[in-house]
Amino acid sequence: MAPPPPVLDNDFDRSIDPSVVRIRSVEPIRSVAALAALQEMLTSMSLADSDYTMEGKELSRAFTLRFHGATGLATNRVRKLLGMQRENGTWKELECSTTNNGKSRLYLDVDKNRKTLRGELISRKLAAILKAAHPDKDIFLKKAALTIY
C-alpha cells in the first residue's frame, strides 16, 4: 500500500486557538441571527459587546465567535459558553431564523484543525463499519482521543 500524499497545507496541523468557538448551522443563516441566538447566554455571562467578535461571511453556515482578553480569560469564557449548552442534564437546542423565515439548529464546538476533523470523520466511518460487521458487539467511539473500543 502506497503512503498517503503529503499535505501541503499549513492549516491542516495548525495550533488550536483556545479563545474561539466554532458555530455551525444546518441552513445558511445571517451572522446577526446567529449572534442573536447566542445573546441570552452571552448576556448571562456579563459580557460587553467589546469582549467578543463574530467572524464569517454575512450569510453562511459557519461562523467563528472569538473572545478577547488574556488567553486564560478567553479560554474560560469559551468553556463557560460551551458548558451553558447543558442545563439540568439535557442539551439546550439553539435555533435561529433563516433567510426564508424557517428555523435552523446551531451547533457550538471548540476550535479544531483540519487534522482533528479528518481523524474524527475517519473514526466515525470506521466505527460504523465495525458495528455493521459485528452487530452482536457494542462498539464505542471516543472522539476526543480518536479511540474505538
Tell me the average pLDDT of the chain: 90
Please report the pLDDT score of residue 94 as a whole number. Answer: 92
Question: Do residues 74 and 88 both lie within one domain?
Answer: yes
Q: Kindly state the average pLDDT of the residues 93-103.
A: 90
Question: Do residues 59 and 102 both lie within one domain?
Answer: yes
Please name the helix (run of DSSP H) or strand (run of DSSP E) that holds residue 40, with its range, or none: helix 31-44
- Tell me what percent of the residues of the chain surpass a pLDDT of 90: 69
Please report the pLDDT score of residue 38 as a whole number. Answer: 94
Please report the pLDDT score of residue 6 as a whole number. Answer: 65
pLDDT tens track for 45-72: 999 999 999 999 999 999 999 999 999 9
Banded pLDDT at 7 (limits 50, 70, 90): low
pLDDT tens track for 9-33: 677 888 989 999 999 999 999 999 9
Please report the pLDDT score of residue 143 as a whole number. Answer: 83
Question: Do residues 66 and 136 both lie within one domain?
Answer: no
Question: Do residues 43 and 91 both lie within one domain?
Answer: yes
3-state secondary structure of 86: strand
DSSP per-residue codes, 118-129: HHHHHHHHHHHH
Question: Do residues 127 and 105 both lie within one domain?
Answer: no
The domain containing residue 122 runs over which residues? 114-148
Whether the predicted pLDDT of 2 surpasses 80: no
CA 80 to chain CA centroid, Å, is: 14
Whether the predicted pLDDT of 123 surpasses 90: yes
Q: Smallest Cα–Cα separation from 68: which of 85, 54, 89?
A: 54
Residue 11 belongs to a domain:
no
Q: Smallest Cα–Cα separation from 111: which of 32, 11, 28?
A: 11
Helix, strand, coil content of the chain in percent (nearest 5):
35, 30, 35
pLDDT tens track for 69-92: 999 999 999 999 999 998 888 888
Question: Do residues 136 and 82 both lie within one domain?
Answer: no
Question: Do residues 120 and 99 both lie within one domain?
Answer: no
**What pTM was computed for the model?**
0.79
Q: What is the number of structural domains in the chain?
A: 2
Question: Which grid cell is 99?
Answer: 433567510
